[in-house]
Chains A and B, each alone.
Chain A
Amino acid sequence: MPETSTEPLRIVQLYPRDMNIYGDWGNTLTLKRRAERYGLAVEVHDHNPGDPWPEQADLFVGGGGQDSGQFRVAEDLAAVSGHLHDAAERGVPMLAICGLYQLLGKSFRTGGGETLQGIGIFDLETVAGPERLIGNIVTESQELGTIVGYENHSGLTHLGAGQQPLAAVVSGAGNDGQDGTEGARTANVLGSYLHGSMLPKNPAVADFLLSAALEVRGEALPEKTFDDTLAERAREVASSRPR
């Protein structure tokens, strides 16, 4: 049976300076608090454009931003692409929301007609659409269950033929408002348009990321001894709200 070490769990927050819009900090906070409640030591580290790549990282989280912030981030991502691909192949978990999700795909054509190159961890392309897809959204993932959140994006994301989505849309728009898929998943890298923040109201997704992070180190998530009543109630309310 794998052991739990005293090595802290190192969470790297990607581009908080440029991609911090709309509550995605809640994802990092949720991972930190849940890890603490599981009895793990946690370190949170920021990575902003131009920073040296962190040597040790167990889990990556990143959020959405203004279109303007994405240019700076795309440039830095190109520079650290090798590190991220390498981590993804080793099974290191990542959660990329909205703007960062788009840049983990192959390309993003903005409303201004410029094309940003992504780093291609996901086989998908995003094109800015004529109007924003905004509102409460409920999706269903076979492995992670019902995922609830709030979407607000103008990018329409089209998955490549072999790209696995994160979940199927139950109500809401999802990747492109057409194909019934939401987000993407490659190995333990999850991409999604869901704000809310996503992880507080989806503890199963948070725990999946924590487990995967420990698994890479040959450890397992300790048994859960706290309850998630608040999250359960908040999920119920969120899934019953109008768009």
Chain B
Amino acid sequence: MSRPLVRALGQGVRWATSLRGGGSAFPGLFMEKLHPRFVSEELAKLPLGVVVVSGTNGKTTTTKMAVQLLRSQGLRVFTNRTGSNFVRGVAASLLAEMDAFGRLDADVAVLELDEAHAVHFVKQVRPRTSLLLNIMRDQLDRFGEIDTTRRMLRQVAHATTETVVLNREDPRIASLAEDLPEGTGVSWFGLSDALRPMFPSDDDMRDGLRQVDPGAEDSAVPSAERPRADVVLEAVNARSVELDVAGKAYEATVDLYGVYNQYNAAGALALALQVLGERADTASLVAELGKVTPAFGRGETITVQDKPLQLLLVKNPAGFRLSLASASAEDYATMIAINDQYADGRDVSWLWDVDFDRLREGGVDVVSGVRAWDMALRLDYDLVPVGTVEPDLETALRDFIAGSGDRPMRIFCTYTAMLSLRKILGGMTHVAAI
């Protein structure tokens, strides 16, 4: 079959499935079967090539920031939406963006890929630039071991043709710089010495009694022995951050939940500087960071009954710990919803690697989800008071809202719980489409 015909057929399938509602990857699957090299051939035409963003935590928000930064400098950016982050998801997004003549109106593609899918993807399409954020234990029921996850990202780094942007403070990411192919450049983003203790690496997670004594000394390499970073997060204030970009100080507004998002902003900025090269206008890039809004379910705020309700996606110990560390417990009505579907991770062992002491004072109003009882038990052993345990998400959500009084609400939730809660909230109030 001729190439334009194949593509037109794919676009037809996309149109047909969109009439049915949902099915974001199906047209991509269709293209993958009919024309397996479709994605790589299309992306190879882009003048600034392909950028891959991967790592355990923060991919979605960081990709969103990077796309916005590049667009603000006038680039036309193609990206994969709706978390459909594998090859056929990318193909589906490509079909959606092409015009009837099969032209992709873009200068560069910025793609969020999870570790396993990234490995398959880079075999077909070699990224020009990649941004590797962190390696944390997550979904060990899928990947087996954290060392396996690192091997996957090593393949991504090796497939990258120009520059890898690496997190200097994650030992498993930083060591990827050691054996890169000759000619591959490295750009680092990092933290000031003052901020480093706020981001324990995965090895520090349960280093002995650290959990009992969070102030214990960390084992990190002294700053003098670390490589120079192009972007350093120097300090974090209430709603702004101080950045050092190539030796120059900047202050930026970052109105996203959590210190980890503020650090990811440094990664997104380092990436944008690499992609833009000499045409980058650092001051306006820094200003643009202040306009980034959260990705769905990642600190997204929904207004319900005139009160803010924040959805905080949690999926692994490091993410949950950082999310808890980002706000004081007493100010909020708090709900936690834990599911154990495949997309959440079937194993709930990871909850025991999260330290819930911070919730002791304010307590948790409602615990919900398939594994509500596991979560309640976890909180009980950390001496955190729990109001009600209600596995059914809809009942739990209604109880939670009704009982929140005039406190702002926040819900820590796993992936499928977040999707369900958004759907239920959609029946009560306005919820942005994903």
Distance between A83 CB and nearest chain B CB, rounded to angstroms: 19
Q: Is the CB of B146 within 8 A of A21?
A: yes
Q: Is the CB of B352 within 8 A of A23?
A: yes
Contacts A17-B208, A23-B351, A48-B208; is A237 near B140 (CB within 8 Å)?
no
Among B78-86, B189-197, B249-257, B375-383, the stretch that binds chain A is B375-383
By a CB distance below 8 angstroms, the chain B residues around A152 are 140-141, 144, 347
Q: Is the CB of B346 within 8 A of A136?
A: yes
Contacts A22-B140, A230-B380, A234-B373; is A13 near B208 (CB within 8 Å)?
yes
Q: Is the CB of B211 within 8 A of A237?
A: no
Distance between A101 CB and nearest chain B CB, rounded to angstroms: 15
Contacts A44-B212, A230-B373; is A26 near B349 (CB within 8 Å)?
yes
Asked whether B145 is an interface residue with its Cβ less than 8 Å from the other chain, the reply is yes
Among A116-124, A168-176, A192-200, the stretch that binds chain B is A192-200
Q: Cα distance A46–B380 when bound, in Å?
A: 24
Asked whether B242 is an interface residue with its Cβ less than 8 Å from the other chain, the reply is no
By a CB distance below 8 angstroms, the chain A residues around B147 are 66-68
Complex partner residue of B349 from A195, A231, A237, CB under 8 angstroms: A195
Interface of A is mostly: mixed
* Total number of A residues with any Cβ neighbor in B under 8 Å: 41
Contacts A68-B147, A134-B141, A152-B144; is A23 near B377 (CB within 8 Å)?
no
Q: Is the CB of B144 within 8 A of A233?
A: no
Asked whether A25 is an interface residue with its Cβ less than 8 Å from the other chain, the reply is yes
Q: Is the CB of B374 within 8 A of A26?
A: no
Mark out the residues of chain A between 68 and 97 whose CB falls within 8 Å of any chain B CB in the assembled complex: 68
Q: Is the CB of A150 within 8 A of B378?
A: no
Q: Is the CB of A237 within 8 A of B374?
A: yes
Q: Is the CB of A22 within 8 A of B144?
A: no
Q: Which residues of A contact B (CB under 8 A)?
A: 13, 16-17, 20-26, 29-30, 33, 44, 46, 48, 66-68, 132, 134-136, 150, 152, 154, 195-197, 200-201, 230-231, 233-234, 236-238, 241-243
In the complex, 27 of the A-B residue pairs with CB atoms within 8 angstroms, ordered by the A residue number, are: A13-B208, A16-B206, A21-B145, A22-B140, A22-B347, A22-B349, A22-B353, A25-B211, A26-B352, A26-B381, A44-B209, A67-B147, A150-B346, A152-B144, A152-B347, A195-B349, A200-B381, A230-B377, A230-B389, A234-B374, A237-B370, A237-B373, A237-B391, A238-B374, A241-B340, A241-B346, A242-B346
